Structure 1
Amino acid sequence: MKIIVVPPINANNFELKQPLINLVQSNKFTGRQDPHNHLRFFNKVTSTFRHPEVPNTSVKLLLFPFSLDGEARDWLDKEPPRSILTWDDLVSKFINQFFPPSKTTYYRNEIITFYQKPNETFNEAWERFKGLLRQCPHHGFSELHQLDTFYNSLNSNDQDALDSAAGGNFLDKMPQEGLAIIESKSKVRYSRSRANDSRVSTDAPLSNSSPSNNSFDMQQIAASLEDKMTIKMNKIGEGGACSGSSGPGT
């Protein structure tokens, strides 16, 4: 008996085309990776394919099992029959299985108690703070709370710099304004850091382990991969990836 119950699809000649299935399978989740990253990838892939008579959530329910492998596939196969009726059901069960409440509590505490390390630059602290937020996207903290936490974690010099950039008390700014100020100062400080690095003597040993450098490299790689994936998905979309209804025997 099926585990995932997909609502009836009242569309003639609807089926999942193999190129779309292949794209979903190109990034299988085995239970060892970040489940939130997997959902982001899966949602991005499936959101590009539309059928006027088929809800996107039905397409997701049909495709999701194709994106699992190993331990994750074993988990889904062991779920009770007809226990997943909606996309929200599936997401909830998936996250609870591979990102349990205890892990959420850990990351929430890391965010709440965040502080700028003694030798950490403004840019490095901001990148590390954003990394914690990305690792627990369901943290539940408002943008105002996030900016308040980050501001209060900074040393007095960096707090003064933000206040100066804000033309007064930084925390009086609206969240979007505050975020723009932080991003602007982070980029300025990062560019200065890069300029200083370029003036270092060629006799000095080169290091590739700087947190800011690694962050920059990863951003470049991620952007490149995203561009390639977008091009690939667009080509598939032009060929008509979804025109009918078939799914895994779950």
Structure 2
Amino acid sequence: MSKPAVAVVEPETPGNVGTIARAMKNFGFEDLYLVDPPALPRESDAYGYAAQAREDVLPNAEEVSFDYLVENFHTVGFTAITNQDATRHVRFPFRTPAELSESLRDVESETVFVFGREANGLNNEEMARLDEVCSIPASADYPALNLGQAATVSLYELRDLAMDESQLPDVSVHRADEEDVERFYDHFADFLDDVDYPEEKKDKTVRMVRRILGRAHPTGREVSTLHGILRRTRQRLDD
């Protein structure tokens, strides 16, 4: 599918528009539509809050009507959880952002995510005209998020629809070579001998350290640092 667009209906403050533009830039979204926005001059908070999105997302935002969104896109309205059920269909059923990401992944459609006003979001008449409803799971005691927060959380969860793996940082674990890890275990066992560790506890302690590092998947640098700690401690003991 093509990247979904983002729309904000009657945002009240330039700062929130900038915050949303920045979140879009963070998570790979590009096209921003604004329905009846405030003035957004270069010196406004919109550009101050947008960070790097001030160079493309924000200045390229288009001012459109709500009708335009409904007529040209598959629309998803974002709202706080309202405790509605199957007997009322304005804001129910709804998907969470994670569920929405999964459901849209293989859908060929021009989609827009529609966020409402800071004070009261999208009204029921607007929600009734949208195709789907999405809501962030939040505490029943206080489910409402402010506009910038809601957009940021939602776009993070939906980032897979806008970014491919080549755009994501490499967060894979680069585990140290097994020879280096085994060499550390030998070093640690020798260290226990150097400090007169009780012989009857030695095997169990070495095994415990092996289990700890086995779960941690240490990098080469981390194993090297552990070697250095043992060497430094041994030198201090010899002083």
Shorter-chain TM band: under 0.3
Q: Give the number of the structure whose residues are more often strand, by fraction.
A: 2
Larger Rg: 2
Q: Which structure has more helix as a fraction of its residues?
A: 1
Task: Pick 1 or 2: higher relative contact order, CA cutoff 8 A, min separation 6.
Answer: 1
> Scaled by the length of structure 2, what TM-score is found?
0.23
Q: Could you tell me the TM-score, scaled by structure 1's length?
A: 0.23
